[in-house]
Amino acid sequence: MFLDGLCFITNRKNNNLTCEEMVKRALNAGVRWIQYREKEKTRREIYNISVRLRKITQAFNAVFIVNDHTDIAYAVNADGVHLGQEDLPLIEARKIIGDKKIIGISTHTFKEALDAENGGADYIGFGPIFHTTTKEAGIPKGTEILQELKSKIKIPVVAIGGITLENIQSVIKTGVDAVAVSSAIISGDIENNVKAFYEYITAN
Protein backbone atom coordinates (compact mmCIF):
# COMPACT_ATOMS: atom_id res chain seq x y z
CA MET A 1 0.00 0.00 0.00
CA PHE A 2 1.35 3.42 -0.99
CA LEU A 3 -0.30 5.06 1.99
CA ASP A 4 1.67 5.97 5.06
CA GLY A 5 -0.38 6.93 8.10
CA LEU A 6 0.69 10.56 7.84
CA CYS A 7 0.66 12.79 4.77
CA PHE A 8 2.50 16.10 5.04
CA ILE A 9 0.92 18.80 2.90
CA THR A 10 3.26 21.69 2.22
CA ASN A 11 2.25 25.15 3.39
CA ARG A 12 4.46 28.23 3.31
CA LYS A 13 2.16 30.58 5.21
CA ASN A 14 3.18 29.73 8.76
CA ASN A 15 6.88 29.13 8.37
CA ASN A 16 9.91 31.05 7.13
CA LEU A 17 11.58 27.96 5.67
CA THR A 18 11.53 27.20 1.96
CA CYS A 19 9.26 24.43 0.76
CA GLU A 20 12.29 22.24 0.11
CA GLU A 21 13.64 22.81 3.63
CA MET A 22 10.29 21.97 5.22
CA VAL A 23 10.02 18.77 3.21
CA LYS A 24 13.56 17.71 4.11
CA ARG A 25 12.86 18.18 7.80
CA ALA A 26 9.60 16.25 7.61
CA LEU A 27 11.32 13.42 5.74
CA ASN A 28 14.19 13.33 8.21
CA ALA A 29 11.62 12.92 10.99
CA GLY A 30 10.01 9.93 9.28
CA VAL A 31 7.33 11.21 6.90
CA ARG A 32 7.10 9.10 3.75
CA TRP A 33 4.23 10.79 1.96
CA ILE A 34 4.54 14.37 0.70
CA GLN A 35 1.82 16.36 -1.05
CA TYR A 36 3.05 19.56 -2.67
CA ARG A 37 0.29 22.16 -2.55
CA GLU A 38 0.90 25.64 -3.90
CA LYS A 39 -1.81 28.17 -4.75
CA GLU A 40 0.15 31.39 -5.21
CA LYS A 41 3.18 30.72 -7.43
CA THR A 42 3.24 30.59 -11.23
CA ARG A 43 3.00 27.25 -12.98
CA ARG A 44 6.66 27.52 -14.01
CA GLU A 45 7.67 28.07 -10.39
CA ILE A 46 5.50 25.15 -9.30
CA TYR A 47 7.18 22.98 -11.92
CA ASN A 48 10.68 24.01 -10.83
CA ILE A 49 9.94 23.32 -7.17
CA SER A 50 8.31 20.02 -8.09
CA VAL A 51 11.50 18.94 -9.88
CA ARG A 52 13.51 19.60 -6.73
CA LEU A 53 10.96 17.95 -4.44
CA ARG A 54 10.88 14.87 -6.65
CA LYS A 55 14.65 14.47 -6.22
CA ILE A 56 14.43 15.01 -2.47
CA THR A 57 11.59 12.53 -1.97
CA GLN A 58 13.28 9.92 -4.14
CA ALA A 59 16.33 10.06 -1.87
CA PHE A 60 14.06 9.06 1.03
CA ASN A 61 12.02 6.55 -1.00
CA ALA A 62 8.96 8.65 -0.17
CA VAL A 63 5.73 9.06 -2.11
CA PHE A 64 5.47 12.44 -3.85
CA ILE A 65 2.08 13.80 -4.90
CA VAL A 66 1.55 17.08 -6.76
CA ASN A 67 -1.63 18.98 -5.94
CA ASP A 68 -3.94 20.17 -8.76
CA HIS A 69 -1.50 20.06 -11.69
CA THR A 70 -1.73 16.72 -13.51
CA ASP A 71 0.60 17.80 -16.29
CA ILE A 72 3.30 18.89 -13.85
CA ALA A 73 2.94 15.65 -11.90
CA TYR A 74 3.49 13.79 -15.17
CA ALA A 75 6.39 16.00 -16.26
CA VAL A 76 8.40 15.50 -13.06
CA ASN A 77 7.50 11.80 -12.76
CA ALA A 78 5.72 12.30 -9.45
CA ASP A 79 4.05 9.29 -7.89
CA GLY A 80 0.68 10.87 -8.51
CA VAL A 81 -1.63 13.86 -8.39
CA HIS A 82 -4.26 15.06 -5.94
CA LEU A 83 -7.28 16.76 -7.46
CA GLY A 84 -10.00 19.01 -6.07
CA GLN A 85 -13.62 19.05 -7.15
CA GLU A 86 -12.94 21.91 -9.58
CA ASP A 87 -9.78 20.49 -11.12
CA LEU A 88 -9.40 18.32 -14.21
CA PRO A 89 -11.92 15.42 -14.18
CA LEU A 90 -10.46 12.19 -12.85
CA ILE A 91 -11.01 10.30 -16.09
CA GLU A 92 -9.05 12.93 -18.04
CA ALA A 93 -6.27 13.07 -15.45
CA ARG A 94 -5.90 9.30 -15.74
CA LYS A 95 -5.34 9.61 -19.49
CA ILE A 96 -2.44 11.97 -18.84
CA ILE A 97 -0.78 10.39 -15.85
CA GLY A 98 -1.40 6.73 -16.65
CA ASP A 99 -2.79 3.72 -14.84
CA LYS A 100 0.26 3.12 -12.67
CA LYS A 101 0.20 6.51 -10.97
CA ILE A 102 -1.79 7.53 -7.89
CA ILE A 103 -4.81 9.81 -8.14
CA GLY A 104 -6.38 11.18 -4.98
CA ILE A 105 -9.57 13.24 -4.88
CA SER A 106 -10.66 15.85 -2.34
CA THR A 107 -14.22 15.14 -1.19
CA HIS A 108 -16.62 16.84 1.19
CA THR A 109 -19.80 14.75 0.89
CA PHE A 110 -20.79 11.09 0.65
CA LYS A 111 -21.77 11.58 -2.98
CA GLU A 112 -18.41 13.06 -3.90
CA ALA A 113 -16.64 10.22 -2.09
CA LEU A 114 -18.67 7.55 -3.87
CA ASP A 115 -18.24 9.29 -7.22
CA ALA A 116 -14.47 9.37 -6.70
CA GLU A 117 -14.37 5.67 -5.84
CA ASN A 118 -16.57 4.72 -8.79
CA GLY A 119 -14.47 6.92 -11.07
CA GLY A 120 -11.28 5.06 -10.26
CA ALA A 121 -9.62 7.19 -7.58
CA ASP A 122 -6.89 5.45 -5.59
CA TYR A 123 -7.85 7.25 -2.39
CA ILE A 124 -10.02 10.10 -1.18
CA GLY A 125 -9.23 13.00 1.09
CA PHE A 126 -12.30 13.82 3.20
CA GLY A 127 -12.90 16.96 5.19
CA PRO A 128 -12.52 19.39 6.65
CA ILE A 129 -12.88 17.35 9.81
CA PHE A 130 -12.22 20.38 12.03
CA HIS A 131 -11.96 24.11 11.44
CA THR A 132 -8.89 24.94 9.38
CA THR A 133 -7.12 28.18 8.54
CA THR A 134 -5.12 26.63 5.71
CA LYS A 135 -7.81 27.23 3.11
CA GLU A 136 -11.51 27.94 2.72
CA ALA A 137 -12.86 24.43 3.04
CA GLY A 138 -16.40 24.80 4.31
CA ILE A 139 -18.16 23.70 7.47
CA PRO A 140 -16.25 21.13 9.60
CA LYS A 141 -17.61 17.59 9.19
CA GLY A 142 -16.60 16.19 12.58
CA THR A 143 -15.37 12.65 13.21
CA GLU A 144 -18.61 10.66 13.34
CA ILE A 145 -19.11 10.85 9.59
CA LEU A 146 -15.71 9.19 9.07
CA GLN A 147 -16.86 5.92 10.61
CA GLU A 148 -19.88 5.78 8.35
CA LEU A 149 -17.74 6.69 5.36
CA LYS A 150 -15.26 3.91 6.13
CA SER A 151 -18.12 1.40 6.19
CA LYS A 152 -19.20 2.38 2.67
CA ILE A 153 -15.97 3.23 0.88
CA LYS A 154 -13.52 0.48 -0.09
CA ILE A 155 -10.63 2.68 -1.20
CA PRO A 156 -8.43 4.36 1.43
CA VAL A 157 -9.91 7.34 3.28
CA VAL A 158 -7.59 10.14 4.36
CA ALA A 159 -8.93 12.60 6.93
CA ILE A 160 -7.95 16.23 6.42
CA GLY A 161 -8.65 19.64 7.86
CA GLY A 162 -7.65 21.12 11.20
CA ILE A 163 -6.07 17.93 12.53
CA THR A 164 -3.73 18.60 15.45
CA LEU A 165 -1.96 16.70 18.20
CA GLU A 166 -4.87 17.60 20.46
CA ASN A 167 -7.58 15.99 18.32
CA ILE A 168 -5.82 13.31 16.28
CA GLN A 169 -6.82 10.47 18.61
CA SER A 170 -10.50 11.04 17.90
CA VAL A 171 -9.74 10.87 14.18
CA ILE A 172 -7.65 7.71 14.33
CA LYS A 173 -10.33 5.91 16.34
CA THR A 174 -12.69 6.18 13.36
CA GLY A 175 -10.54 3.74 11.40
CA VAL A 176 -9.38 6.10 8.67
CA ASP A 177 -6.38 4.94 6.70
CA ALA A 178 -4.33 8.10 7.16
CA VAL A 179 -4.41 11.74 8.18
CA ALA A 180 -3.20 14.69 6.13
CA VAL A 181 -1.62 17.51 8.14
CA SER A 182 -0.14 20.87 7.24
CA SER A 183 -0.25 23.70 9.79
CA ALA A 184 0.16 21.50 12.87
CA ILE A 185 3.42 20.15 11.45
CA ILE A 186 5.06 23.36 10.31
CA SER A 187 4.03 25.42 13.34
CA GLY A 188 7.07 25.16 15.58
CA ASP A 189 9.64 22.39 15.36
CA ILE A 190 8.80 20.26 12.32
CA GLU A 191 10.81 17.21 13.38
CA ASN A 192 9.33 17.11 16.89
CA ASN A 193 5.81 17.64 15.57
CA VAL A 194 6.14 14.80 13.07
CA LYS A 195 7.48 12.42 15.70
CA ALA A 196 4.63 13.35 18.04
CA PHE A 197 2.06 12.62 15.34
CA TYR A 198 3.62 9.23 14.64
CA GLU A 199 3.46 8.34 18.32
CA TYR A 200 -0.33 8.63 18.15
CA ILE A 201 -0.59 6.94 14.75
CA THR A 202 1.56 3.92 15.58
CA ALA A 203 -0.07 3.45 18.98
CA ASN A 204 -3.43 2.67 17.34
pLDDT above 70 for 191:
yes
pLDDT above 80 for 192:
yes
Which residue segments constitute the domains of the chain, with CATH numbers given? 6-202 (3.20.20.70)
Residue-wise pLDDT for 139-182, tens only, equals: 899 999 999 999 999 999 999 999 999 999 999 999 999 999 99
CA dihedral 16, 18, 20, 26 (to 10 degrees): 10
Is 50 annotated as catalytic? no
At 3, the pLDDT band (50, 70, 90 cuts) reads confident
Quote the pTM value: 0.95
Is 187 annotated as catalytic? no
Measured distance CA(145)–CA(109) in Å, rounded: 10
The residue annotated as part of the active site, out of 25, 32, 50, 106, is 106
Among residues of the chain, what percentage have pLDDT more than 90?
88
The residue annotated as part of the active site, out of 24, 25, 32, 37, is 37
Measured distance CA(101)–CA(117) in Å, rounded: 15
| Residues near 12 by beta carbon (within 8 Å), at least 6 away in sequence | 19, 22, 38
- Supply the DSSP symbol for 99: T
**Contact assessment for residue 3 and residue 178, using Cβ atoms and an 8 Å cutoff:** yes
CA dihedral 131, 113, 173, 5 (to 10 degrees): -90
Q: Please report the pLDDT score of residue 11 as a whole number.
A: 86
Q: Please report the pLDDT score of residue 100 as a whole number.
A: 96
Q: Please report the pLDDT score of residue 143 as a whole number.
A: 96
Measured distance CA(73)–CA(47) in Å, rounded: 8
Q: Please report the pLDDT score of residue 56 as a whole number.
A: 99
pLDDT above 90 for 136:
no
The residue annotated as part of the active site, out of 12, 52, 135, 150, is 135
Residue-wise pLDDT for 54-110, tens only, equals: 999 999 999 999 999 999 999 999 999 999 999 999 999 999 999 999 999 999 999
Is 135 annotated as catalytic? yes
| Range list of β-strands (E), the chain | 6-9, 33-36, 63-67, 80-83, 102-107, 123-126, 157-160, 178-181
